[in-house]
Chain A
Amino acid sequence: MKKRRFSLLLAALLTMAVLGGCGSDGTGESSGNNSSTSTVVDNEVQEPQGEKTYGGTVVVGIQQDIDGLDPHKANSAGTKEILFNIFEGLVKPDENGNLIGAVASDYTISEDGLVYTFTLREGIKFHNGNLVTCEDVKYSLERVSGLLDGVPLMATMKAVQSVDILDEKTVQVTIGEANPELLYSFTAAIIPAGSGEDENAELVGTGPFCFVSYTPLESIVVKKNPDYWQAGLPYLDQVNFKIVASAETAMMELKGGSIDIYPYLTESQAAELSSDFRMVSASSAVLQALFLNNAEKPLDDVRVRQAICYALDGDMINEFLYGGNSVLASSAMLPALKSFYVDLNDTYGTSANVEKAKELLAQAGYPDGFALEITIPSNYEVHMQTGEIVVEQLKNVGITATINPVEWETWYSEVYKGRKYQATISGLAGDLTPGYIINRFQTESGKNFVNFSNAEFDRIYQELQAIPDLKGREEPYKQLQKILNREAASAFIQVAPTNTAVSNKLAGYRCYPVYVQDMSTVYFVK
């Protein structure tokens, strides 16, 4: 008897929890088309007015655990977006996509593009109070470029031949081949000499926030750097990056007030949040795709991959997830890099072409389709929802797709590193250089987790390296995109806007064209 009551109670509670939520502000009746939806697409959201105040603690929700605290070895975009607050390079990107001096106050590049000369910023200090010396810069640059142990930690920095200290304030970097995209690589973090190999070294950088603690699967806490070189920044005393495993939990925490800032919301979720938050939307630098393992049967057949591209209805995915506000992608280049980007959406069309897809499948020997397993990191609500739509679209051409949701850590080791998967939905975060995303499709690239292999692509990419000016690289980059598109290296979907919920108590949040969360300019409004 007792047990039965318990089960009844549980059932009732389950509904109550659900009912309780919509009764909280008494407007459970509101329709989906109310005004809050329109504010989402509006980029000019009004910042709360008021006096800037110093101090306070902000909690930022993040989607995944970080993959390490070594700024040179961190691989995932989700780690880099946080370390941005702790570490800085000689230069760093600003919110307009320009590179500004950070550890270096000034730099010059020689006429032939082979010598970079950096002048250290006067009086810049690490978080432990030590002045940044040329030794530290030399060590950091040699570490990332592989001059220390032969293993370059940043592929683009392989070009560095020597790092020389000219005087107390000046460092000169000599590279083998002129590369107009290289300057961006000097965003690599400057850390104290020797600290990378020292297990017990303090984790210090020069960024606006100092590292305090890291609890795996829980949070990363940083506190204000009082000696930060940008006068007056940062405002906040402490920032707590809280790892939230699912979008549903994040929504609950936002509503409950335990998270102040949360990026990566879908449009419907953004519309759901109350007036305590405002939505800051901007174009993201994340290219979402249904990545296809080119080495795995039957995806090794280009016709099968093309059939999948034909089967997908990009317009529908865009409409469901972002109300039509994302930019459909057709290859591995961010549309924001205008002069390098070529729009190839016409090849497979932006809506589904079922006949063409079936025809190609039949030619490839799969007239009745096949079974496809799509592995998705389940902490990414956007990818999970995309997955549901993709499964449905593939069904229309006879492909029986199933979703295999996995934890982020599993995804990273099995899919990204281990390349043991058929298909996956994920995003690639780009930066401001055109080569950043596309270079991973070289056959030998360690980041080529889709196992794409095309001799023509490799050749053009190699030839491109010798072109010293950006203008001259535009055409080859477009050719590379056309090859990826023609060969259907993967089914590229979209570059989505980021919808970031920011508490109305806060102002100063800035969206970057790269995947970072900059907390230095955020402040509480009085």
Chain B
Amino acid sequence: MKKKSNGKWNQYLIAGLIMTGLAVLLGIIGFFWTPYSTTAMSATEKFMAPSWKHWFGTDNFGRDIFSRVMKGMGTTIVIAAFVVLFSGIIGILLGAVTGYFGGILDEIVMRITDAVNGFPSILLALVMISLLGKGRQNVILALGIVFVPSYVRIVRGEFIRLRDADYISRARLMGVGKLRILFVHILPNIFSVFWVSVMIGFNNAILAESGMSYLGIGVQPPDASLGKMLSDAQSYLQTAPWYALAPGLTIVWIVLGFSLFSEGIRRRT
């Protein structure tokens, strides 16, 4: 791939960085401080339209939606990050081993990933939640497992491509250990491909987590979560449209920002 003349910075990267940066920053701040309490209720302030006092308005319990969006955004991003981390690490390990060595292990792992892929992912996550029980950790675990196959396939493909490359054969001839070949010689060379799938995976994880909370099996009330807010807001679309708009647009913001960011990264290299 040739380097583009516009160098290291491009519009995608800048826009993506700003959007993602803002989301992550607000999310992190939200863990420590929010303008209002995310759970304090007030009967006199329910269903207030957006104003300078409450930027995104208030919900059916008089809670500040902006504060809840901050908190929910942080939760969603952290869950998505852990999902990607979890499935990414397992994906690399399995993909590396199966791609490099092949053989019976490769067959078994690939058939299992086929089986997992055969299920609609949200359905599989639903089944796992019903087995594991509700809660944050279980959402991470369930989504993590659902997302593993996509990484395994990508990593495995790259390892197959590189295992017979000249520099690897030579390293082997020089007596370099298998582990060293796997993780020092090959792994760094697949990062450009792997990075792209991580980006996509992150966005998918955000949507999946929102979807699960929307269905009521993700983050549980009274904790704030974007998906749960959307589902609650559904009952009040006409009286309080801002209630649904705030978490809805926030999800779009995060996903769009991250997509632009990853597109920017891709174009830079």
A residues near B (Cβ < 8 Å) are 3-4, 7-8, 10-12, 14-15, 18-19, 21-22, 25, 27-28, 30-32, 246-248, 251-252, 268-269, 271-272, 274, 316, 319-320, 378, 381, 384-385, 387-389, 391-392, 395, 402-405
A18 contacts B39, CB within 8 Å?
no
Other than the given A22-B238, A389-B41, A402-B220, 16 more pairs (CB < 8 A) read: A4-B200, A11-B252, A11-B256, A15-B249, A18-B233, A18-B234, A30-B239, A268-B46, A268-B47, A269-B236, A272-B237, A272-B238, A316-B43, A392-B40, A392-B41, A403-B222
Distance of A22 Cα from B47 Cα, bound (Å)? 15
B244 contacts A18, CB within 8 Å?
yes
Beta-carbon nearest neighbor of B62 in chain A: A320
User: Which 8 pairs between the two chains have the least Cβ-Cβ distance?
Assistant: A15-B248, A21-B237, A32-B47, A22-B241, A11-B255, A18-B244, A319-B43, A7-B203
Interface of A is mostly: helix
B234 contacts A14, CB within 8 Å?
no
Distance of A252 Cα from B235 Cα, bound (Å)? 8
B220 contacts A389, CB within 8 Å?
no
Q: Mark B175-211, 1 if CB is under 8 A from A, else 0.
A: 0000000000000000000000001100110010010
A246 contacts B216, CB within 8 Å?
yes
- Residue contacts A-B, CB under 8 angstroms, 22 given: A8-B255, A11-B252, A11-B256, A15-B249, A19-B245, A21-B238, A22-B238, A22-B241, A31-B239, A248-B231, A248-B232, A251-B235, A268-B236, A272-B236, A274-B238, A319-B43, A388-B221, A388-B222, A391-B39, A391-B222, A405-B134, A405-B216
Distance of A395 Cα from B236 Cα, bound (Å)? 27
Report the minimum CB–CB distance from B63 to chain A (whole Å): 9
A contact residues around B234 at 8 Å (CB): 18, 21, 248, 251-252
A14 contacts B210, CB within 8 Å?
yes
B69 on the A face (CB < 8 A):
no
Report the minimum CB–CB distance from B142 to chain A (whole Å): 17
Beta-carbon nearest neighbor of A324 in chain B: B43
A contact residues around B207 at 8 Å (CB): 7, 10-11, 14
Q: Mark B236-264, 1 if CB is under 8 A from A, else 0.
A: 11111100110011011001100100110
A contact residues around B49 at 8 Å (CB): 31
Distance of A316 Cα from B241 Cα, bound (Å)? 24
Beta-carbon nearest neighbor of A37 in chain B: B239
Distance of A11 Cα from B230 Cα, bound (Å)? 12
Distance of A269 Cα from B236 Cα, bound (Å)? 7
Contact status of A15 and B252, CB under 8 A, knowing A28-B241, A268-B60:
yes
B61 on the A face (CB < 8 A):
yes
B221 contacts A18, CB within 8 Å?
no
Distance of A10 Cα from B209 Cα, bound (Å)? 13
A contact residues around B256 at 8 Å (CB): 8, 11
Beta-carbon nearest neighbor of B59 in chain A: A268
Report the minimum CB–CB distance from A317 to chain B (whole Å): 10
B contact residues around A268 at 8 Å (CB): 46-47, 60, 235-236, 239
Beta-carbon nearest neighbor of B39 in chain A: A392
> What total of A-B pairs shows CB separation below 8 Å?
126
Distance of A248 Cα from B204 Cα, bound (Å)? 25
Distance of A26 Cα from B263 Cα, bound (Å)? 37
B203 contacts A4, CB within 8 Å?
yes
B contact residues around A8 at 8 Å (CB): 203, 255-256, 259
Contact status of A405 and B220, CB under 8 A, knowing A12-B252, A18-B244, A32-B239:
yes
Report the minimum CB–CB distance from A401 to chain B (whole Å): 9
B residues near A (Cβ < 8 Å) are 39-41, 43, 46-47, 49, 60-61, 134, 199-200, 203-204, 207, 210, 216, 220-222, 230-241, 244-245, 248-249, 251-252, 255-256, 259, 262-263
Beta-carbon nearest neighbor of A391 in chain B: B222
A contact residues around B252 at 8 Å (CB): 11-12, 14-15
B contact residues around A384 at 8 Å (CB): 221
Beta-carbon nearest neighbor of A10 in chain B: B207
B255 contacts A7, CB within 8 Å?
yes
Distance of A364 Cα from B130 Cα, bound (Å)? 37
Report the minimum CB–CB distance from B68 to chain A (whole Å): 12
The residue that B39 contacts in the complex, of A11, A12, A381, A395, with Cβ under 8 A, is A395
Report the minimum CB–CB distance from A14 to chain B (whole Å): 6
* Best-surrounded residue of B49, B210, B237 (most CB of chain A within 10 A): B237
Distance of A116 Cα from B104 Cα, bound (Å)? 82
B contact residues around A271 at 8 Å (CB): 239
A18 contacts B237, CB within 8 Å?
yes
Report the minimum CB–CB distance from B105 to chain A (whole Å): 27
Report the minimum CB–CB distance from A250 to chain B (whole Å): 9
Beta-carbon nearest neighbor of A3 in chain B: B200
Distance of A32 Cα from B57 Cα, bound (Å)? 12
The residue that A14 contacts in the complex, of B46, B230, B259, with Cβ under 8 A, is B230
Beta-carbon nearest neighbor of B255 in chain A: A11
Report the minimum CB–CB distance from A12 to chain B (whole Å): 7
A320 contacts B41, CB within 8 Å?
yes
Contact status of A19 and B248, CB under 8 A, knowing A3-B200, A384-B221:
yes
A contact residues around B222 at 8 Å (CB): 388, 391-392, 403
Distance of A15 Cα from B244 Cα, bound (Å)? 8
B contact residues around A387 at 8 Å (CB): 221
Report the minimum CB–CB distance from B43 to chain A (whole Å): 4
B contact residues around A14 at 8 Å (CB): 207, 210, 230, 248, 251-252
B contact residues around A388 at 8 Å (CB): 61, 221-222
A contact residues around B237 at 8 Å (CB): 18, 21-22, 28, 272
A contact residues around B235 at 8 Å (CB): 247-248, 251, 268-269, 272, 381
Contact status of A18 and B245, CB under 8 A, knowing A3-B200, A12-B252:
yes
Distance of A268 Cα from B200 Cα, bound (Å)? 39
Distance of A246 Cα from B228 Cα, bound (Å)? 13
Distance of A344 Cα from B115 Cα, bound (Å)? 61
B contact residues around A247 at 8 Å (CB): 235
Distance of A10 Cα from B211 Cα, bound (Å)? 10
A contact residues around B46 at 8 Å (CB): 32, 268, 320
Report the minimum CB–CB distance from A377 to chain B (whole Å): 12
Beta-carbon nearest neighbor of A274 in chain B: B238
Distance of A274 Cα from B222 Cα, bound (Å)? 29
The residue that A320 contacts in the complex, of B60, B238, B249, B263, with Cβ under 8 A, is B60
Distance of A28 Cα from B232 Cα, bound (Å)? 17
Beta-carbon nearest neighbor of B43 in chain A: A319
B240 contacts A403, CB within 8 Å?
no
